[in-house]
Amino acid sequence: MSMYGHNGGMTTQPALSPTEADVCCPSLTVSPLSLDDAQDFARILKSLADPTRLRLVSLIAGHEQQEACVCDLTEPVGLGQPTVSHHLKILVDAGVLRREKRGVWSYYSLEAATLNRLSEFLSPG
Amino acid sequence: MSMYGHNGGMTTQPALSPTEADVCCPSLTVSPLSLDDAQDFARILKSLADPTRLRLVSLIAGHEQQEACVCDLTEPVGLGQPTVSHHLKILVDAGVLRREKRGVWSYYSLEAATLNRLSEFLSPG
């Protein structure tokens, strides 16, 4: 979006078609929202619409090297490993967290692009 | 996270106390999230975690004078007035929409401060 090359003469800057613009950066309050985008963002929002899952994301973001395994998270949220794993799976499926298996543990880290996209989508600016 | 000022000697920059930081601008990925904030934001996120409600917010934002009554919204979302009113009530209760009664109709508009707060909360910064 930010890189337009120099083009002399009568040519105009290439503009995104509505469909491309939609794909690029849908906004809740600027462009009319397509059903596809509404379903897509509702799914991400739903994954975050739970106090425990918000706290898990916050704990992972604040953890050493911004990643954590289930074993790091059970005690701070006061829940057992199966419950925490269930919440983490919902966040991974929605693209909010990334899961990487190393040795016997899976490590969870933030998918910053998803949060950025959601934050920009919601901004009324 | 990316801005560490130069601080000679033992002095540090004044920091907000956890309580002040909390009141000012809780962030999902910067400050550790309190249970109160987690519940507060989960409630707002839940109100938006539905494709129809996202479309209603988008339609209101795009409507003339950025406000609309139920009568303007039923046709675009293809739902009856009671269902649309129910969705609008959830958004008003969560502070995402403002409701103003004028004559026989209620007019709904965006509570931009709530969306701003949520957008900043989610931004990975």
Q: Which residue has the higher pLDDT, A124 or A67?
A: A67
Closest residue in B to A37 (Cα) is B51
Q: Count CA atoms closer than 13 A to A93's CA, side-chain side.
A: 11
Structural domains in chain B, sorted by start: 33-122 (1.10.10.10)
Q: Which of B30, B33, B58 sits opposite A29 (nearest CB)?
A: B58
Contact indicator for B120, A125 with CB cutoff of 8 Å: no
Asked if ipTM goes beyond 0.85, one says no
Cα distances (angstroms) measured from residue A108 to each of A73, A114, B108: 10, 15, 40
pLDDT by 10s per residue, chain B, length 125: 333 333 333 434 444 444 444 456 789 987 779 999 999 999 999 999 999 999 999 999 999 889 999 999 999 999 999 999 999 999 999 999 999 999 999 999 999 999 999 999 999 87
* Chain A hits for B51, Cβ within 8 Å: 35, 38-39, 42
Contact indicator for B96, B87 with CB cutoff of 8 Å: no
Q: Which of B32, B119, B124 sits opposite A112 (nearest CB)?
A: B124
Q: How many other C-beta atoms can be found within 10 angstroms of the C-beta atom of residue B10? A: 5
Instruction: Report the distance separating Cα B51 and Cα B42, nearest Å.
Output: 17
Cα distances (angstroms) measured from residue A4 to each of A19, A26, B51, B57: 19, 21, 34, 33
Q: Write down the pLDDT at residue A13.
A: 44
Nearest Cα of chain A lies from the Cα of B61 at a distance, in angstroms, of 5
- Contact between chains at A55 and B45 (C-beta distance less than 8 A): no
Closest CA to A29 of B89, B93, B116: B116
Q: How many helices (H) and strands (E) does chain B have?
A: 6, 3
Nearest Cα of chain A lies from the Cα of B54 at a distance, in angstroms, of 6
Closest residue in A to B38 (Cα) is A51
pLDDT, tens only, A6-22: 433 344 444 444 444 44
pLDDT greater than 80 at residue A98? yes
**Residue of B25, B45, B47, B63 to mutate for A, most A C-beta atoms under 10 A:** B45
Mapping DSSP to helix (H, G, I), strand (E, B) and coil, where does residue B4 land? Answer: coil
Q: How many other C-beta atoms can be found within 10 angstroms of the C-beta atom of residue A21? A: 15
Nearest Cα of chain B lies from the Cα of A9 at a distance, in angstroms, of 36
Percentage of chain A modeled with pLDDT above 90: 70
- Contact between chains at B119 and A115 (C-beta distance less than 8 A): no
Contact indicator for A66, A110 with CB cutoff of 8 Å: yes
- Contact between chains at A54 and B38 (C-beta distance less than 8 A): yes
Amino acid letter, residue B104: V
Kindly report the backbone phi and psi dihedral angles of residue A20, in degrees, each rounded to the nearest multiple of 5, phi listed first.
Answer: -65, -40
Nearest Cα of chain B lies from the Cα of A94 at a distance, in angstroms, of 12
Instruction: Report the distance separating Cα B116 and Cα A125, nearest Å.
Output: 8
